[in-house]
Amino acid sequence: MEPIRLQHENIAIHPAAVMKPLMPNPQYRNVVVALDLGPGSEALLAAAAAVAPSARITAVHAYDVPHEGMLRRAGVPSPEIHRHRGDALAAAVERIDEMASALPGGARGVVALVQRADPVRLVLDAARSLKADLVVLASRRRSVVERLLVGSVSRRIIAGAPCDVLVPPLLPRTRAAS
């Protein structure tokens, strides 16, 4: 398929992926990888390392405490909820460190950025503040109803990204997907 010229970026549409730009660029210096820590996250981080082998990679994850609202309504004390937040944060950082260590060459150049936040805002803010030249993210399959009700995180990141975006082939949606 021939790339389509749109403004000044190459865009190609494939059945399972939308990629900007088409070819890896060894001159990428700052890459932001949006991770939901679900299945396929390892491959996504590896894809970023392969596309930008000399770049600093920031693995971004927006975490949440499962059922936090129910915990509050059930009267669970705030210190206990904060402990759950700390546990979720530590588990996410540990998981990113494990994935980064498994990369060829180890975790060299991979930094974890984990916050309790909206995933779209966190990824876009990180891309801007770090002056990223590339954002790498997965697109999880959602039902039509889910797309209408909650939108698509990947679509909103692509629309707002201040730099090139790479979306490898679609991965199945999981409960861990944001």
Domain residue ranges of the chain, discontinuous segments joined by + = 4-167
- pLDDT for 105 beyond 80: no
Q: What would the pLDDT profile of 29-49 be if each residue is shown by its tens digit?
A: 999 999 999 888 998 898 888
What pLDDT band is residue 95 in, cutting at 50, 70 and 90?
A: very high
- What does CATH list as the number for 4-167? 3.40.50.620
Task: Quote the tokens at residue 161.
Answer: 């990204």
Q: For position 104, what pLDDT does the model report?
A: 82
For residue 55, give the 3-state DSSP assignment.
Answer: coil
Q: What is the pLDDT, as a whole number, of residue 169?
A: 65
pLDDT, one tens digit per residue, over 63-77 is 988 788 898 899 999
Alpha helices in 10-164 (DSSP H): 41-51, 68-73, 78-101, 119-129, 144-150, 153-160
136 band by pLDDT with thresholds 50, 70 and 90 = very high
**pLDDT score at 178:** 42
Query: How many Å apart are CA 125 and CA 156, to the nearest integer?
Result: 13
CB 177 within 8 A of CB 145: no
Burial class (CB in 10 A: 0-12, 13-18, 19+), 1: exposed
Cα separation, 88 vs 100, in Å, equals 18
Question: How large a percentage of the chain has pLDDT more than 90?
Answer: 45
Average pLDDT over residues 50-65: 90
Lowest mean pLDDT among 55-59, 72-76, 101-105, 112-116: 101-105
Q: What is the pTM of this model?
A: 0.76
